[in-house]
Chain A
Amino acid sequence: MKKLVVLVLMLALVTVSTTLVFAGGQEEGGSDQPIKLGGVWPLSDITGEQGSKAAQQAVDEINAAGGVLGRQLELIILDSEFKPEKGAAAIERLATVENVDVFLGGMASSVHLGQIPILKKYKKLTVWTGAASHLAENAIGGDADWYFHLHPWDYQQGGSYVDGWEDIIGKYSDIKVDKWFLAYEEGPFGSASFESSKVLFSDMGDFDGESFKSAAAGGGDYKAVLQHAKESNPDIFLWAGYGADALPLLQQSKAIGFEPALYVGAPPGWPADFGSSSLAEDVFLYGMWAPAMNDINPVSKKFYDGFVEKFNVIPATYFAPLSYSAVYLIKEAIERAGSLDTEALITAMEQSKYKSALGETITFKPSKVIKHQGIEGQKILQWQNGRQEIIWPFEFSTGTPVYPFPGWENR
């Protein structure tokens, strides 16, 4: 009996403390209260860590300049932990405990799939920076006028790569791309890249590919797929995986002497010190932004300098300027709307024409399913002398391609 009493007391304690601890008791925002933005990112990953920090940087800049509608902005950051259930609970907390006015974030399609039913429940203005899977687009559906998606969907990314390589081949006649090989991580991100690329690049020559287990998912041995790629002798070798795969792939390529004429990587984020490795030199990559953008875009320079000053680290993922842009898009929309009324905010967001740190002027157009899609493509870049140069689109170009890939000697 004594045992049971202790157990019951303990359970009761946990229940009460849970309720009290998580109650929060946030009051509704009056005119003297800050405007609340609720952000959810995977904070243990560089994309989420730097994305959330860049969003905070934007909030601090806006507040330093006087805020919005005479009110300060407040960003509440929660960790999705890369888990759908945690990401969904975070949205619940932001909506019901923190009473945020706007949702923003995030990263990873599977996490977003778990969040979508909750987002649909509250229908608050949502500006999302990640989740590229078309499955997430289908789950959002065509009726969600409160939903604004910044990152290109997987099929849009694929389309932009086709456009990019066609333009590059057209401009640089010595570059030949007739035979493709795509090594892809076996998860949704890599598999989607392979399936869409196979269709999209079908008019541009032979296309072959093979999956590997990403180091991020406990893998890390790429020798078999690299050996098959070497035997295939492609003009262009692409890999679609995660940042953790970047250096091991290059090391193992060097180990087996695999030296394709074009070596292209397409992770969502690169390791922070990747450029300092001699193996990185002349590797192409897909991305939406690079510090080289600072040379041609004052918004990018402002973002970059501010980020380095505030956090004493270089932004190494395009999710940082993307999140920074999301906050400014929201700020401008609130100013245009003149209130926090969701309908007014949606109308104001639809009028967005924001010159972003990513180069593009962000506007919203319908994609295949949703009403409000922002950026529609990625960029093609190349590691040169330790930094990412933008090769394509040519309007943002900061360098010319080094071709062919010089191989591994003396590296």
Chain B
Amino acid sequence: MKISPKIVIFLIIILLSIAFPFFAGPYQQSIAKNVIIYMILALSWNMLLKTGQISFGLAGFFGIGAYASVLLSLKLGIPPILTIVLGGIVTSLVASAMGMIILRLRAMYFAITTLALGEIFRVIIHNVPNFAGGAHGLILPGVIFDGNGLYTYWLFLGAALFSIGLSYYFDKSKIHLALTAIRDNETTAKVRGIDIFKYLLIVFTITAGMQGIAGGLYAQSFGFVTPESSFSGDFILLPIAMALLGGIYTTAGPVVGAIVLGVISEYLKLYIPYGHLIVYGLIIVIVILFMPNGIIGALYVKIDGRKTFGKVDQPNE
């Protein structure tokens, strides 16, 4: 049996990722975990973007997943790993209920509504102090795996690989064709018999679940939730910047964007402690200005000699 070189390369990457803690210390693992959180968010945002819908609901679903995970641990004593999965499921359920209503909106109206949803979730949490800790938030008696960095890293890596796999599946399956058709021309897609609402709801529910899982991972690894940190706007802006910088509409783009920005962010602050955020912002602006297709898009253009990359002329990975 002949094994495809692609599979060999992917297996090597996975093995290297699994072995990463053996040649990197706790600090590097910590950075890797932070990168993974944002990578999952960037991937999920990009998956929904493939339908043509821009969502700003990342922080809202991230926060729901985080709170669901912590509450399930505290109130029902469910083991942390299980609460992370259940947190993702709870988030998916909330998203599918919300999706029934808001997925009838399009473009700016959809984007603004998803942004508002996140804010509404945060306000609700604020106003149920007896159940969810109110403005103070909640703390867990301990962090996942009793703070064992190795196991925590592998758990995060597992979630990252699951997310990459899911995004890759969406690129390869029939769903990809439906989503691309919806994005390119919704009316034509409808005429061709594509159930637009069904596909949008599927993607919205799944991506929200991924965001909820990221929230659960975050909450369980740091041992707390607060409305301000769990529903933070950082979980909207940074993943979007990462996806744009890496290259949208591909699975590799958000992955590369998250790694590059995550590493640059840490690198800059070691050398420019009082001004790194300005430089960081400038880098994002400059890269997006000069590489509108992102890093991956620029690579494709360079390798294939294409002049364009994106909505019409994009690779089928």
Q: Which of B26, B136, B234, B259 contacts A188 (CB 8 A)?
A: B136
Residue B76 CB within 8 A of the other chain: no
A89-B31 CB under 8 A given contacts A81-B277, A121-B147: yes
A78: chain B residues at CB < 8 Å are 269-270, 273
Residues 109-126 of B contacting A (Cβ, < 8 Å):
126
Q: A1 interface residue, CB < 8 Å from B?
A: yes
For chain B, residues 277 to 317, give those with C-beta under 8 angstroms from any C-beta of chain A: 277, 295-296, 299-300, 303, 315
**Interface residue ranges of B9-30 to A (CB < 8 Å):** 9, 12-13, 16, 20, 23-30
Question: Across the interface, do B263 and A89 meet the contact criterion of CB distance under 8 Å?
Answer: no
Say yes or no: is A86 at the interface (Cβ < 8 Å to chain B): yes
Please give, as numbers and ranges, the residues of chain A lying within 8 Å of B224 by CB-CB distance.
84, 110, 113-114, 135, 139
Nearest A-chain residue to B280, judged by Cβ? A81
With CB as the reference atom, state the residue of chain B lying closest to A191: B135
In the complex, what residues of A have CB within 8 A of residue B45's CB? none
Neighbouring A residues of B295 by C-beta, 8 Å: 10
> Per DSSP, are chain A's interface residues mostly helix, strand or loop, or mixed?
helix
15 A-B residue contacts at CB 8 Å?
A3-B303, A15-B20, A21-B267, A77-B273, A85-B37, A86-B34, A89-B34, A92-B27, A92-B30, A95-B27, A96-B26, A186-B126, A188-B136, A188-B226, A191-B136
Q: Is there a chain B Cβ closer than 8 Å to A351's Cβ?
A: no
Contact with B along A39-82 (1 / 0, CB 8 A): 00001100001001000000000000000000000000111010
Chain B residues, Cβ within 8 Å of A12? 16
Is A19 in contact with chain B by the CB < 8 A criterion?
yes
Point out the residues of chain B lying under 8 angstroms from A1, CB to CB.
Answer: 5-6
1/0 per residue, CB under 8 A from B, across A330-355: the answer is 00000000000000000000000000
A117 and B223 contacting across the interface, CB-CB below 8 Å: yes
Beta-carbon contact of A85 and B218 below 8 Å: yes
Among the listed B26, B136, B234, which residue makes an inter-chain contact with A83, where contact means beta carbons less than 8 Å apart?
B234
Residues of A within 8 A of B233 (CB): 218
Chain A residues, CB < 8 A from B266: 22, 89
Are A188 and B273 within 8 A (Cβ)?
Answer: no
How far is the CB of A173 from the nearest CB of chain B, in Å? 37
| Alpha-carbon gap, A192 to B134, bound state (A) | 10
- In the complex, the answer to whether A4 meets B143 with C-beta atoms within 8 Å is no
A4 & B9 in contact (Cβ 8 Å cutoff): yes
Cβ-defined contact, A139 with B303, below 8 A? no
Is residue B187 contacting chain A, with contact meaning CB distance below 8 A?
A: no
Contact, CB under 8 Å: B27 / A97: yes
As a 0/1 sequence over residues 245 to 271 of chain B, the CB contacts with chain A under 8 angstroms (1 = contact) are 000000010001001100100110110
Report Cα–Cα, A221/B227, bound state, in Å: 21
Q: Kindly state whether residue B188 has any CB partner on chain A within 8 Å.
A: no
Interface centre among B16, B25, B27, B252 (most CB of A within 10 A): B27
Cross-chain contact B276 with A192 (CB below 8 angstroms): no
B24 to chain A, nearest CB (A): 5
B135 touches A113 (CB 8 A): no
Indicate which residue in A52, A120, A121, A187 contacts B135 across the interface (CB closer than 8 Å): A187
Chain A contacts of B226 at CB under 8 A? 109-110, 113, 188
Q: Point out the residues of chain B lying under 8 angstroms from A93, CB to CB.
A: 27, 30
Which residues 108-159 in A have Cβ within 8 Å of B in the complex? Answer: 109-110, 113-114, 116-118, 120-121, 133-135, 138-139
Q: Closest residue to B5 on the A side, CB-wise?
A: A1
Within 8 A of B (CB), among A1-38: 1-8, 10-12, 14-15, 17-19, 21-23
Chain A residues within an 8 Å CB radius of B34? 85-86, 89
- The complex places the Cα of A38 from the Cα of B24 at a distance, in Å, of 21
Report how far A155 CA is from B6 CA in the complex, Å: 60
Contacts of A3 in B (CB 8 A): 299-300, 303, 315
Q: Are A19 and B23 in contact (CB under 8 A)?
A: yes
Q: How far is the CA of A205 from the CA of B228 in the complex (A)?
A: 32
Q: Which residue of B lies closest to A121 (CB)?
A: B147
Q: How far is the CA of A372 from the CA of B222 in the complex (A)?
A: 23
CA distance A276 to B228 in the complex (A): 32
**Which residues does chain A contribute within 8 Å of B26, judged by CB atoms?**
92, 95-96
Q: How near does chain A come to B73, taking the closest CB pair, in angstroms?
A: 15
B274–A43 CB distance below 8 A: yes
Bound form: Cα–Cα A123–B24 in Å: 22
B139 interface residue per 8 A CB criterion: yes
Asked whether any CB of chain B lies closer than 8 Å to the CB of A262, the reply is no
Q: Out of B31, B134, B296, which one reaches A22, CB within 8 Å?
A: B31
A14 to B252 alpha-carbon distance, docked (Å): 14
Contacting residue for A2 out of B13, B137, B296, B303, CB 8 A: B303
Q: Which of A165-199 contact B (CB under 8 A)?
A: 186-188, 190-192
Nearest B residue to A117, CB-CB: B143
Q: In the bound complex, what is the Cα–Cα distance between A15 and B299 (angstroms)?
A: 19
Q: Which residues of A contact B223 (CB under 8 A)?
A: 113, 116-117, 139
Say yes or no for A272: interface residue by CB 8 A criterion: no
A116 to chain B, nearest CB (A): 7
The answer to whether B136 touches A135, judged by C-beta atoms less than 8 angstroms apart, is yes
Q: Given the known A-B contacts A3-B299, A7-B256, A22-B266, are A191 and B134 also in contact in the complex, defined by CB atoms under 8 Å?
A: yes
B31 lies within 8 A of A188 (CB): no
B271 to A: closest C-beta gap in Å: 10
B25 contacts which chain A residues (CB < 8 A)?
Answer: 23, 96-97
Q: Which residues of A contact B263 (CB under 8 A)?
A: 14, 17-18, 21
> Are B24 and A135 interface neighbours, CB within 8 A?
no
Q: Does A308 contact B (CB under 8 A)?
A: no
Asked whether, in the complex, the Cβ of A14 is within 8 Å of the Cβ of B260, the reply is yes
A88–B37 CA distance with the chains assembled, in angstroms: 14
In the complex, what's the smallest C-beta–C-beta distance from B266 to chain A, in angstroms? 7
Query: Does A217 sit within 8 A of B, measured CB to CB?
Result: yes
From residue B220, how far is it (CB to closest CB) to chain A in Å? Answer: 11
A186 in complex: contacting residue of B135, B137, B276, B315, CB < 8 Å: B135
Contact with B along A299-326 (1 / 0, CB 8 A): 0000000000000000000000000000
**Do A188 and B135 have beta carbons less than 8 Å apart?**
yes
**What residues of B have a CB within 8 angstroms of the CB of A191 in the complex?**
126, 134-136
